[in-house]
């Protein structure tokens, strides 16, 4: 107990204004962020793998996931928001506020990202947790790696991903990090290296596979004093949490992740090119509203969920329309419903969890 309290006390805490707090026994929503900050880089090897702090300044949210935890059901649902989702970032931060990719809201820290998610999608966030690049790898290593089944050899020269063999295999920290970061994946099909056309959508599927592979490892570490000690030792240098996220809530999140039914989905989006020529993803109005309504009803009664549900299409798309010379109907209602990307089709070159 004392050791656990000491290790928890070592985890960096950040003040995040705008969090809603939790109600005992009720579902709560945790914003999970993967930071792409390069401030940790202090060697030539790290600079080659991740890029230098001077070459990639500031930080963006490389991963944006809202985890809805239902303590009563012992279940967790994950909602991924693609990093290129084009929203109206509030405030008056130069070069950031206004129509922009959602990952830019994280540049100066989590507060603006929390405010952006709540204003754009009306998802009440109770807590916040952030993992950095080296910390992610450390946590995976502390858990003894994860098991994933690869149908094809895969590689990504940008992230450092390099899996040469197929089948169910143990993936350790650096390769697990390279996998969830990969946006330029190639897979070897019959001796020919083919490009994964899915980019960020496909990357989100790989992140989902990671969480599913992580679940049994979390389950195993709770019964192993040595494994638990390794995990607790990795957290202080890997994880940052908001000041209101207590040890009991963090344990509740871990306990509900292991041995639970874990489901995941991706916010529907529409590929779009701005007037400035940037390729982004627009929130898909009605499809978004329907998914968020279902998400916020997870783990609670319909009557309770109704209190959270507010229309999101009008304010979000009205702002985007004002910033781009495109008719409202083009953004709010695509001419072809097939333009909406739901990211539900599994890609055969992406790995899946397995049991050795």
pTM, entire model: 0.80
Which of 3.20.20.10, 3.30.70.2080, 3.40.50.720, 3.30.420.590 is the CATH number of 2-132+201-353?
3.30.420.590
Give, in order, the Cα–Cα distances in Å from 16 to each of 66, 169, 327, 348. Answer: 15, 39, 37, 39
Sign of CA dihedral 78, 89, 271, 286: positive
Cα dist from 137 to 180, 211, 356, whole Å: 11, 14, 21
Q: In which band, very low, low, confident or very high, does the pLDDT at 233 lie, cut at 50, 70 and 90?
A: confident
pLDDT category at 136 given cuts 50, 70, 90 is confident
> What is the reported pLDDT for 163?
97
Angle at alpha carbon of residue 110, lines to 56 and 102, rounded to 5°: 65
For residues 63 and 106, is the Cβ–Cβ distance under 8 A?
no
Contact 354, 148 (CB under 8 A): yes
Q: Indicate whether 111 pLDDT > 90.
A: yes
Strands 186-189 and 192-195: antiparallel
Three-class HEC string of 132-196: CHHHHHHHHHHCCCEEEEECCCEEECCCCEEECCCEEEEECHHHHHHHHHCCCCEEEECCEEEEC
Please name which of 52, 54, 117, 56 lies closest in space to residue 81, comparing C-alpha atoms. 117
Ranges for all domains in the chain classified under CATH 3.30.420.590:
2-132+201-353
Q: Give the three-state DSSP class for 239.
A: strand
Structure confidence by residue, pLDDT tens digits, 154-170 = 999 998 999 999 999 99
Phi, psi of 114 (to 5 degrees): -60, -45
Question: Residue 38: which pLDDT band, with cuts at 50, 70 and 90?
Answer: very low
User: What angle, 0 to 180 degrees and rounded to 10, lies between the N-to-C axes of helices 199-221 and 173-181?
Assistant: 150
The pLDDT value given to residue 96: 92
Q: Which helix (H) or strand (E) holds 48?
A: helix 44-50
Q: How far apart are CA 196 and CA 352, in angstroms?
A: 16
Strand partners, 187: 154, 194
Q: How buried is residue 109: exposed, middle or buried, by Cβ count under 10 Å (0-12/13-18/19+)?
A: middle
Query: What is the CB neighbour count within 10 angstroms for residue 330?
Result: 15
Task: Give phi and psi for 150, each to the nearest 5.
Answer: -105, 125
Which of 216, 247, 338, 274 shows the shortest CA–CA distance to 84?
274
CA neighbours closer than 13 Å in the CB half-sphere of residue 297: 13
Q: Residue 325: its pLDDT value, please? A: 32
Comparing 36-50, 55-69, 211-225, which segment has the lowest mean pLDDT?
Answer: 36-50
Q: Is the pLDDT of residue 214 over 60?
A: yes
Q: Across the chain, what does the average pLDDT equal?
A: 78
Residue 251: predicted pLDDT: 63
**Residue 245: which H helix or E strand, with range?**
none
- pLDDT the model gives residue 267: 92
Q: How many C-beta atoms lie closer than 10 Å to residue 244's C-beta? A: 15
């Amino acid at each position: 107990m004392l050791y656990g309290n000491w290790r928890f006390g070592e985890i960096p805490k950040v003040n995040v204004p705008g969090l809603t707090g939790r109600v005992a026994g009720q579902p709560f929503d945790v914003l999970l962020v993967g930071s792409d900050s390069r401030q940790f880089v202090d060697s030539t090897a790290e600079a080659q793998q991740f890029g230098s702090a001077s070459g990639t300044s500031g930080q963006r949210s490389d991963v944006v996931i809202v985890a809805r935890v239902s303590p009563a059901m012992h279940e967790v649902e994950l909602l991924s928001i693609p990093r290129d989702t084009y929203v109206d970032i509030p405030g008056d931060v130069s070069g950031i506020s206004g129509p922009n990719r959602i990952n830019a809201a994280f540049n100066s820290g989590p507060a603006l990202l929390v405010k952006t998610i709540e204003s754009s999608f009306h998802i009440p966030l109770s807590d916040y947790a952030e993992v950095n690049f080296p910390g992610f790898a450390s946590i995976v290593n502390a858990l003894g790696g994860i098991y994933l089944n690869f149908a094809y050899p895969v590689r990504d020269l940008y992230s450092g991903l390099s899996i040469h063999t197929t089948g169910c295999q143990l993936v350790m920290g650096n390769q697990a990090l390279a996998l969830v970061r990969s946006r330029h994946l190639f897979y070897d099909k019959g001796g020919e290296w083919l490009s994964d056309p899915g980019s960020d959508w496909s990357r989100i599927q790989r992140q989902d596979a990671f969480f599913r592979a992580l679940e049994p490892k979390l389950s195993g570490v709770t019964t192993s004093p040595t494994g638990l000690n390794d995990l607790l030792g990795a957290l202080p240098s890997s994880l940052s949490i908001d000041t209101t996220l207590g040890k009991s809530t963090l344990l509740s999140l871990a306990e509900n992740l292991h041995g639970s039914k874990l489901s995941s989905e991706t916010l529907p989006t529409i590929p779009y090119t701005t007037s400035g020529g940037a390729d982004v993803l627009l929130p898909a109005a009605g499809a978004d509203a329907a998914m968020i309504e279902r998400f916020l009803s997870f783990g609670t009664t319909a009557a309770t969920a109704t209190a959270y549900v507010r229309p999101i299409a009008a304010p979000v798309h009205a702002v985007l329309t004002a910033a781009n010379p495109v008719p409202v109907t083009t953004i709010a209602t695509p001419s072809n419903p097939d333009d909406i990307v739901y990211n539900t089709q599994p890609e055969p070159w992406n790995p899946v969890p397995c049991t050795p």
